[in-house]
Structure 1
Amino acid sequence: MIVSKSEIKVRYAETDQMGVVYHGNYLVWMEVGRTQLIEDLGFQYAQMEEDGIISPVIDVHIQYKKPVKYGETAVVETWLEDYDGIRSVYGYRILKENGELAAEATSKHVIVKKDSFRPVSLRKHFPDWHEVYEKAKMKKE
């Protein structure tokens, strides 16, 4: 399993009045991690969009464990948890700079045509990407 890592320096604008990262910002951080994983696997999501295919989010689960605060650096670990040719599930661990777990999450995405939102097969439209995803997805035991 390939795990990508992205560092996020917490900006003041990402926090609430308590100095804690606002919960919605974790979704943005997950996008940063997902984009980095895709790049680490050798692809560019922007290229997929240029080819008329998008991958919208259809489900998200986040469990918040410990707060991340202004001035800290968070680390987003991202991996491909599951993939079936049309749907991809990404896993995330967001760590505080001291290594403590701040949040665990998953996001599920579907591959669709940009103009119609009709599902398409990654295997058919991007066979190289499909092959890498088959190898990269987390092995079920």
Structure 2
Amino acid sequence: MKAIVSAAAPVDVHFHDLDPMNIVWHGNYAKYFELGRAALFTKIGYGYAAMKNSGFAWPVIDMHIRYYRPLELAQRAEVVAGVVEWENRLKIDYLIRDPESGRKITRGHTVHVALDIATKEMQWETPPVLREKLSPWLA
């Protein structure tokens, strides 16, 4: 599915990200996805402070990761995050790639639902604030 809007963020692999095999521990890829997601939300003007001020949180309710190649110490990579669904849930696709060669390292997606912060109630439809933030890319 084609992204409505996307953003990229750099990934730097540090020593503390490695497992005993000297490659990035699989659980750290969720952290790298978060870098892309934060860049994406910043791009649309809905960073975490704005999100909190809007009265809604967007917790992850599902995540899928497919690994193609390992990341290694001091390797530079790029994570691209893009909104592919937004009307009833928010689905973000991710691609971690080598920025020089373009080689695919990891793909995945996360699914989020809007949660009213005050009531802790899940919303079954995207709140107007996200529609407004995405409107420049929906036209």
Same fold (TM over 0.5): yes
For residue 70 of structure 2, the aligned residue among 61, 67, 72 is: 67
Query: What residue is the counterpart of 2:31 in the other structure?
Result: 28
Overall identity of the aligned pairs, in %? 26
Number of equivalent positions:
133
Q: Does 1:44 align with 2:47?
A: yes
1:130 corresponds to: 131
Alignment gaps of 5+ in structure 2: none
Q: State how far apart, in whole Å, the 1-side matches of 2:6 and 2:105 are.
A: 17
The CA deviation string for residues 57-86 of structure 1, in whole angstroms up to 9 with x for no partner, is 0100110000010110110011001111x4
Aligned counterpart for 1:58 among listed residues 54, 58, 61: 61
Runs in 1 of length 4+ with deviation above 3 angstroms? 120-124, 134-137
Shift of 1:134: 5.4
Alignment RMSD, CA only?
1.9
- By how many angstroms is 1:135 displaced? 5.5
Pairwise CA distance, 1:32: 1.0
Question: Matches of 1:110 and 1:5 in 2, distance apart?
Answer: 22
Q: State the match for 1:102 in structure 2.
A: 105
Shift of residue 10, structure 1, vs aligned partner: 0.5
**TM-score normalised by the chain length of structure 1:** 0.84
Q: Determine the C-alpha separation between the residues in 1 that align with 2:62 and 2:97.
A: 22
Letter of the 2:93 counterpart: G
- Specify the alignment match of 1:119 in structure 2: 122
TM-score, structure 2 length as denominator? 0.85
Unaligned runs of 5+ in 1: none
